[in-house]
Amino acid sequence: MSDPGTTRPPGSEHSPDSPLSIHAMTVAYERRPVLWDIDLDIPRGALVGIVGPNGAGKSTLIKAALDLVPKLSGHVQVFGRPYTVQRERVAYVPQRESVDWEFPVTVLDVVCMGLYHTLGLFRGVNRRIRKRAMEALAEVGLEELAHRQIAQLSGGQQQRTFLARALVQEADLHLMDEPFAGVDAATEETIVSLLRTLQSRGCTTIAVHHDLQTVPDYFDHVLLLNTRVVAFGRTDEVFTPANLEATYGGKLTLLDQASQALAGQTRGVPR
Amino acid sequence: MTCLASMFDDGHLLEVFLLSNWNTRVVVLGVTALGVAGGVVGAFMLLRRRALLGDALSHATLPGIAMAFLLASTLGLSAKSHGVLLLGALVAGLLGVVTVQWLTRSARMSEDAALGIVLSTFFGAGAALLGLAQQETSASAAGLEAFIYGKTASMLMRDAALIGATSVITIGVCIACFKELRLVCFDPDYARGRGLRTTAYDFLLMALVMAIVVVGLQAVGLVLVIAILVIPAAAARFWTHSTGRMLLIAGAIGGAGGWIGTILSAIAPGLPAGAMVVLTLGGFFIVSLLFGRRQGLARRMLRHRRRALLMDRDHALRAIWECLEHTGEPDCLAGQIGFRWGWATLKTVDRLQRAGLLVVEPAAGEERIAFTEEGQREAAAVVRRHRLWEHYLMRRADFDEHHVDRGADELEHLLPTGLLEQLEKELDAETLAMLPSPHALRPDHAGGAHG
C-alpha cells in the first residue's frame, strides 16, 4: 500500500491495520436509518462487546460490515482493505435463531462448512477438512457429539457448533451475533474462555451482547450503540452510568420520531 | 368384469412387467428417470423452502403453452411441435417466478399471497387462451389438454430421451454443487458472508426445478408435476438426518413411484399415468410417515409405548420394594402395595412374574407377592436410582419432601446411565448400596402418584 490517504476520503484518520474500520457508514431499512454515520476503528487484539437497546442496530452493524445488508453510504475496511478480498480473515457467528435446526446435517457437517473456501467448486469434503473440524469441535468440547443431527443438541451446544465453525477458519477477526443468547452456564463459561484464548492468539473479537452485568468481566472494550455510536473505548473508561443512560435513556426519541415520520411518508411507494 | 378379465388376459400383465412392449418401455423408463431427478432436485427445493414456488411455477406454464400454440399456428409453423410448446412453458414459468419475486421484494407482499395470486392468475390466463386455441382449431388443439393432467400415451421416444437427458443433467448438477447448495439451503446469510453467490445458487436451483417441471408436463401434467418434486423429498426426510442420504432416498422413492405408477396405468389403460404415479408416491409417503426410521409416527408410538412399559415396571418394582421395606416381611399381600390395583397394574405384575422378577402365590383368597433373587436386585437398583435423584433434587433444586417423589419420577426413567454415575459422585454415594428415603414412606401412596 503506497499512500493510504489516496484510498480514503481526505480527513479520515483510520489506521490501516485496524481489524475493522468503519467510515461514515449509514444503513437504512425502508428509508429508516438503523445506523447513522458510524465512525469506528477497532484496535487490534481487542475483545469488544456491542451493547445497546433493541433496534439500536447492533446486528446490523455486523451484517453491514460483512456486506450482508446494503449500506446507504460510507465504507468498511478489514485490515486496511475491503472485506471482499479479506473474507478468509473474518469469521462470522450468526444468531442461533437464523437457521432451521431441523435441517438434515450433523454437527461435523456444519463445522466443515467453515472450510468450504479451501475446497474448490465440485470438490467434496475430505478427510483433511474433517480432521480440522474435529479439532475445532474438541476446542468447544463437542467432539463426542460430532455425528449427532443438530436438532438433537441443546441451545448451548448449537451455539458451540456455530463457534466451532468459526474457529476452524483460523481467522484474525471474529464477528459474533449474540453468542451468549439462550445458552446454559457451562456454554457461557466455554465461550468466555474461548474468547480469552482467541485474544491470547492475537485475534480480535467483536460480539453483540445483551447482559450489561457481565460486560466488564467479559470485554476489555465496549461499543455503546443506539443508531449512533454513543461511546467506544476501553470498558473501564467508557462503560459508565452516564454513557449507559445516554444509550438506553431514550435521549434519541426525537430522532426516532423523525425517522418514523420519514418512513411513514414513503410507505407504500415502491423503491 | 369383462374389462378386468381382459386386463389379466393373454399375457398382457407379463408383457407390461417385462417391458416387452416398446411403447410401454419408453414410457416407463422416461417417467422413472423423471421420478429420480424430481426426487433429487425436490430435496433441495424442500430444504430451501421453495415448494410453493415450484407449484406456482408449474401452474404458470399453461399460458405459455397455449400462447406458443397460438403464435405457432398464426405464423404457420407446426403448432404441435413439442419444442415450441415446451419453450412457451419455460418462458411463462420463468415469468411467473419473476413476478412472485417482484411482488415479494418490491411491492412488499407476503410470499403466500404473491404465490396465490400468480398461480391462479397465470392458470386462469392459460385456461382462457386454451379456450381460444380450441375454438380456432379444435382438432389439433385437443392435444394441449394433455399438458394439464399429463398423457403418457402420447409420449414418444424423443420425449423420453429429452426426459432422460434432463434427468442426467439435473442430477449431475446437484451432485457437483452439493456442498454449495446445501450451505445455501442451511444458512444463506452465512454463505453470502463467506463469499458464496447465493443469488446465483438460488437461481440455479429454480432452473433445476423449472427443467423438471417442463419435461414433466407431458408425463404427469402441470397440476400434478409438483408431486414428483415434493413427495419423494418429504418422504425421504423421515428416513435420514443426512442431506446426502436424503437426496439418495428421495431419488429412489421418486424412481420407484414413476416405475410402479406407469406400470399400474399400463395394466389398466383407463387409469391416467400421472395420477397413478402421484398416488404411488403418496403411498410411499404414508409408509414413510408411519414407519420412517428417524421420525416415523409408528416408531415414535412404539418408543413411547416401550417407555411407558418401562415406567410401569419401575413403579411396580419400587412399590413392592418399599412395601417390604416398610413391613420387614419377605412377602406382602397385593392389597398392601400402595398403587391402585387397576387392569394395567395387574398386567404389569403378570409381566414381571413372567420375566422371573416376581413370585405370585395365591393365599387365602388374596395373592402374596415376593421378589425372586433377580427381582430383588432389579428393584433395589430402581429404588436406589429414585432416591439418588430425590436427594439430589432436595439438596440442589430446592424441592421439598412432598414434591420430590414426583420430581424424581419425571427424571429417573429416561436418563442415560452415565448421568447416574455423575449423580453418585455429586452425592458421594458411589459406595452406598442403598439410601434412606428422604421423605416418609406412605405405603398407601408410594408409587401411586403417577397411576
pLDDT digits (tens, 9 = 90+) for B271-315: 888 889 999 999 999 999 988 877 678 778 888 888 888 888 888
Kindly list the residues from chain A whose CB atom is less than 8 angstroms away from the CB atom of residue B416: none
pLDDT value at residue B99: 92
Q: What is the 3-state secondary structure (H, E, C) of chain B?
A: CHHHHHHCCCCHHHHHHCCCCHHHHHHHHHHHHHHHHHHHHHHHHHHCCCHHHHHHHHHHHHHHHHHHHHHHHHCCCCCCCHHHHHHHHHHHHHHHHHHHHHHHHCCCCCHHHHHHHHHHHHHHHHHHHHHHHHHHCHHHHHHHHHHHHCCHHHCCHHHHHHHHHHHHHHHHHHHHCHHHHHHHHHCHHHHHHCCCCHHHHHHHHHHHHHHHHHHHHHHHCCCCHHHHHHHHHHHHCCCCCCHHHHHHHHHHHHHHHHHHHHHHHHHCCCCCHHHHHHHHHHHHHHHHHHHCCCCCHHHHHHHHHHHHHHHHHHHHHHHHHHHHHHHCCCCEEHHHCCCCCCHHHHHHHHHHHHCCCEEEEEECCEEEEEECHHHHHHHHHHHHHHHHHHHHHHHHCCCCCCCHHHHHHHHHCCCCHHHHHHHHHHHCCCCCCCCCCCCCCCCCCCCCCCC
- Taking each helix axis from N to C end, the angle separating B273-291 and B198-220, rounded to the nearest 10 degrees, works out to 120
Tell me which of B294, B319, B351 is where a domain ends.
B294
CATH number at residue A227: 3.40.50.300
Question: Would you say residue A179 has pLDDT above 60?
Answer: yes
Instruction: Tell if the CB–CB gap between A121 and B183 is shorter than 8 Å.
Output: no
Per-residue pLDDT of B349-366, as tens digits, reads 788 888 888 888 776 667
| Residue pairs spanning A and B at CB distance below 8 A | 72
Distances (CA, A) of A110 to A168, A178, A190: 11, 19, 19
Q: Is B336 on the interface with A (CB under 8 A)?
A: no
Q: Are residues B264 and B218 in the same domain?
A: yes
Mean pLDDT, residues B36-44 taken together: 96
Q: Could you tell me if residue A264 is inside a domain?
A: no
Q: Could you tell me if residue B9 is inside a domain?
A: no
Tell me which of B269, B294, B319 is where a domain ends.
B294
Cβ(A56)–Cβ(A215) under 8 Å? no
Return all residues near A233 (Cβ < 8 A) that are at least 6 apart: A221, A222
Question: Would you say residue B333 has pLDDT above 80?
Answer: no
Instruction: State which amino acid sits at residue A114.
Output: G
pTM tops 0.90: no
Instruction: State which amino acid sits at residue B431.
Output: T
Q: Could you tell me if residue B432 is inside a domain?
A: no
Q: Could you tell me if residue B438 is inside a domain?
A: no
Q: Are residues B73 and B200 in the same domain?
A: yes
Per-residue pLDDT of B119-128, as tens digits, reads 999 999 999 9
Ramachandran angles phi, psi of A23, nearest 5°: -125, 120
Which of A40-44, A53-57, A240-244, B342-346 is the most confident on average? A40-44
pLDDT value at residue B444: 47
Kindly list the residues from chain B whose CB atom is less than 8 angstroms away from the CB atom of residue A270: 106-107
Q: What percent of chain B has pLDDT over 70?
A: 82
Q: Is B103 on the interface with A (CB under 8 A)?
A: no
Q: Is A84 on the interface with B (CB under 8 A)?
A: yes
Q: Is B451 on the interface with A (CB under 8 A)?
A: no
Q: Are residues B391 and B256 in the same domain?
A: no
Q: What percent of chain B has pLDDT over 90?
A: 33
pLDDT value at residue B180: 93
The parent domain of residue A117 ranges over 4-254
Q: Could you tell me if residue A266 is inside a domain?
A: no
Q: Are residues B330 and B368 in the same domain?
A: yes
Instruction: Tell if the CB–CB gap between B106 and A270 is shorter than 8 Å.
Output: yes
Q: Are residues B215 and B324 in the same domain?
A: no
Q: Are residues B290 and B306 in the same domain?
A: no
Q: Are residues B158 and B253 in the same domain?
A: yes
Q: Are residues B166 and B260 in the same domain?
A: yes
Question: Would you say residue B259 has pLDDT above 90?
Answer: yes
Tell me which of B241, B266, B294 is where a domain ends.
B294
- The alpha carbon of residue A123 is apart from the nearest alpha carbon of chain B, in Å, by 8
Of B107, B176, B182, the CB nearest to A122: B176
Q: Are residues B129 and B251 in the same domain?
A: yes
Domains in chain B, number: 2
Question: Would you say residue B138 has pLDDT above 60?
Answer: no
Per-residue pLDDT of A195-237, as tens digits, reads 999 999 999 999 999 888 889 889 999 999 988 898 999 998 8
Q: Could you tell me if residue A249 is inside a domain?
A: yes
Give the model's confidence band at A113: pLDDT under 50 very low, under 70 low, under 90 confident, else very high.
very high
B82-86, B92-96, B148-152, B333-337: range with lowest mean pLDDT? B333-337
The overall average pLDDT reported for chain B is 82
CATH number at residue B208: 1.10.3470.10
The parent domain of residue B342 ranges over 302-427
Q: Could you tell me if residue B374 is inside a domain?
A: yes
CATH number at residue B395: 1.10.10.10
Can you tell me the ipTM of this complex?
0.85
Mutation target to probe the B interface, by most B beta carbons within 10 A, among A87, A105, A175 is A105
Q: Is A109 on the interface with B (CB under 8 A)?
A: yes
Q: Could you tell me if residue A261 is inside a domain?
A: no
Domains in chain A, number: 1
Q: Could you tell me if residue B451 is inside a domain?
A: no
Q: Are residues B177 and B38 in the same domain?
A: yes
Question: Would you say residue B446 has pLDDT above 50?
Answer: no
Q: Are residues B232 and B272 in the same domain?
A: yes
